[in-house]
Amino acid sequence: MKTNILLFLLLLFATNPFMTIAQDLPGDDQSENRKTQLNAEPQKGKFHIAIQDFSFGAVSSQFTISSFSLRAGYMITNKDMIFLSGQYTWNPREGYSKAIETSLFYRRYFLEGAFQPFIQFGGGLGYVDFTNDYMNVNNKSIYGTLSTGTGVSFRYKRWGFELGIQTDFNRYSTGRFSIRPIVGVSFSF
């Protein structure tokens, strides 16, 4: 029930920019007013750095912050970005010691302005280290992962704040699909 409510609120938040664009008055310079109103400036050629994907939870009855991710990207057009993401996770789940992932992503924004819905997809490589008591044969593994996600970014001047949802395949060498939130803060220059 809580998951359905969370997904509904996230979908509502992501589609809100499409529903709130109003008509301009006749005779106004619509393109100039829209850029001023939505805080839009060209993004092509800008670099973005971000802190994202904070994870926390209970592992072995202990509440801990267990994941941290950095992102570096480049805007190839006003609406298209490619970025490299790296994540370090400690105690990602029972039986795991740590995991390190790096991925290459493509992200497409759908509006220019302050609120920008987006979709993204990418793939990468990871390394997981199992605890010794969990895996007796081989306690280290290199794996590939595929990801896709959607969300919305709010941009104010050089700062961006994003919220979304992402699904991953084979994260931590599990061979399964997982769903996780996209939460981040970025800076462009």
pLDDT of residue 141: 82
Q: What is the pLDDT of residue 79?
A: 93
Specify the pLDDT at position 3: 63
CB half-sphere exposure, 35, CA atoms < 13 A: 6
* Mean pLDDT (the chain, rounded): 78
Indicate the range of 4-8, 87-91, 149-153, 165-169 predicted with least confidence.
4-8
DSSP letters along 120-172, please? Answer: EEEEEEEEEEE-TTT-SS--EEEEEEEEEEEEEEEEETTEEEEEEEEEEESGG
Question: pLDDT tens-digit profile of 163-187?
Answer: 999 999 988 778 889 888 888 999 9
Closest CA to 140 of 126, 154, 121, 157: 126
* Percent of the residues in the chain that have a pLDDT greater than 90, as a whole number: 41
pLDDT of residue 151: 96
In CATH, what number does 2-19+42-188 get? Answer: 2.40.160.20
pLDDT-derived band at 145, boundaries 50, 70, 90: very high
Q: Where are the domains of the chain?
A: 2-19+42-188
Q: Are 165 and 7 in contact (CB under 8 A)?
A: yes
Instruction: Report, as an integer, the average pLDDT of 122-128.
Output: 93
Tell me the one-letter amino acid at 95. Answer: G
Mean pLDDT of 35-58: 72
pLDDT band at residue 18 under the 50/70/90 scheme: very low
